[in-house]
Structure 1
Amino acid sequence: MITSIQGLLTAATPLHAIIELNGLGYEVNIPVTTAEKLPQTGSTVKLHTLVIYREDAQTLYGFATPAERDFFRLMIEHVTGVGPKMALTIMSKLSLPLLQSTIANGDVATLSKCPGIGKKTAERLVIELRSKVGVTGSAESVLSASGISSEDSAAPADNKMRDAILALNALGYKTADADEAIRRAILAIGPKATTEQLIKKALGS
């Protein structure tokens, strides 16, 4: 099994990355949340991967952290009706901390706002994954791709992100929009920013 790929990033779109390794170019399907963290083309990049084999195809999926890859696998293996394409759509709309939080809290409304995800699918995500949230990749954070190593505490970083999102919620932002604004703030000012700094940056963007 190919669990990661590291090479030269030769091209990238919001849903695909081409990584050249040993003279071969690998097309990797990625969520928008991973595309946001990619370096400039021509740079070395590492993605944590999962290969999906079908009778007529072999598709490579890549993520910024092992935790994101493992959650992607969890969705396609344990949630009825959720295949790789739908799982990628969900992870493109919501960051991993928010996705885990919405499932743990049974927030069907936020989940159902993901493109192509109806209320029934959102309910299945909650029912079938609620007991598993926090088990997969709990030591890793989606923020690690922005500079937090595995030696750092992932929980405080996730908490900062969640607190900032809740603050924007209180100001009238929809949860998915608040999540996107805070992700952009983290990319702009770095993962060591305080909750207050993230909020100010998100409001000013």
Structure 2
Amino acid sequence: MITSITGPLAEISPLRAVVELNGLGYEVHIPVTTAERLPGPGEVVKLHTHVVYREDSQTLYGFAATEDRDFFRLLIEHVSGVGPKVALSIMSRLSLPLLESAIRDGDVATLSKCPGIGKKTAERLVVELRSRVGAPANATSPVAGGGSAASPAPATGGVVTDAVAALTVLGYKTADADKAVRQAMVALGGTPTTEQLIKRALGR
């Protein structure tokens, strides 16, 4: 099984990347949350991958961090009614820390707002994955180029969820707050504090 791919980024769009390797261009389907963390074309990236084999095709899915790839596998292997397309849609809507937090808390309302799933599927996510989702995992830095793939930088998922919670108190919708915090995380890099993420997300 192909577990990762490293090479120059030839093309990038919100749901698709093409990585060059040994003269071949590999099409990799990615969630928006990974696309946000990738550099521009020409930079070297490493994507952690999962391959789905069919009788007439094989599709490569890629993620900025192993934690994202592993969560994708949990979705498609342990939640009935959730295939690769729906899983990618879910992971495009919300960041991994927020998804895990919603599952641990049984927050069906937040999960059911993800495209492609309704209340019943959201409830199955909670029932099937709650025991498999542990404490908040470390987030990672953007997958940057500069001749080599970036290494993960420690930043607790709790910082992300706290910042999202603060923005929702200020009137943001959960998905909008999560997106603003994700963008702030990429812009700041390193290990920002909750306060720094909130200020950046608010444009201060």
TM-score, shorter chain, exceeding 0.5: yes
Q: Indicate the residue corresponding to 2:191 in structure 1.
A: 192
Q: Given the two structures, how large is their TM-score scaled by the length of structure 2?
A: 0.91
Distance 2:87 2:3 in 1: 18
Would the aligned equivalents of 1:65 and 1:145 in 2 still touch at CA under 8 Å? no
Taking only the aligned residue pairs, the percentage that are identical comes to 66
Distance 1:117 1:185 in 2: 27
Distance 1:153 1:143 in 2: 6
Summarize deviations over 1:25-50 as a string: whole Å, max 9, x none: 00000000000011110010100000
Q: Which has the higher contact order (CA 8 A, sep 6+)?
A: 2
Distance 2:95 2:154 in 1: 18
SS at match of 1:28: strand
**Code of the aligned partner of 1:143:** T
Q: Indicate the residue corresponding to 2:64 in structure 1.
A: 64
Distance 2:104 2:4 in 1: 28
SS at match of 1:114: coil
Would the aligned equivalents of 1:108 and 1:122 in 2 still touch at CA under 8 Å? yes
1:176-187 equivalence runs, <5 A = 176-187=175-186
**Code of the aligned partner of 1:87:** A
Please tell me the root mean square deviation across aligned C-alpha atoms, in Å: 1.9
**Structure 1 spans left out of the alignment, 5+ residues:** none
Shift of 1:159: 1.6
Would the aligned equivalents of 1:146 and 1:187 in 2 still touch at CA under 8 Å? no
Q: Indicate the residue corresponding to 1:48 in structure 2.
A: 48
1:119-198 equivalence runs, <5 A = 119-134=119-134, 141-145=138-142, 153-154=154-155, 157-198=156-197
Distance 1:167 1:38 in 2: 27
Would the aligned equivalents of 1:49 and 1:69 in 2 still touch at CA under 8 Å? yes
Shift of 1:142: 3.5
SS at match of 1:60: strand
Q: Which moved more, 1:181-190 or 1:140-149?
A: 140-149
Shift of 1:191: 3.3
**Code of the aligned partner of 2:87:** A
**Code of the aligned partner of 2:188:** I
Q: Indicate the residue corresponding to 1:31 in structure 2.
A: 31
Q: Indicate the residue corresponding to 1:98 in structure 2.
A: 98
Distance 1:179 1:63 in 2: 18
Distance 1:192 1:80 in 2: 36
Summarize deviations over 1:40-95 as a string: whole Å, max 9, x none: 10010100000000111100000000010010001100000000000000000010
Would the aligned equivalents of 1:163 and 1:195 in 2 still touch at CA under 8 Å? yes
Q: Indicate the residue corresponding to 1:22 in structure 2.
A: 22
Distance 2:14 2:190 in 1: 22
**Code of the aligned partner of 2:138:** S
Distance 1:153 1:142 in 2: 6
Distance 2:154 2:64 in 1: 17
Shift of 1:8: 0.9
SS at match of 1:56: coil
Distance 2:177 2:42 in 1: 31
Shift of 1:149: 5.0
Q: Indicate the residue corresponding to 2:74 in structure 1.
A: 74
Structure-2 change in CA distance of 1:146 and 1:82 (3 Å): same
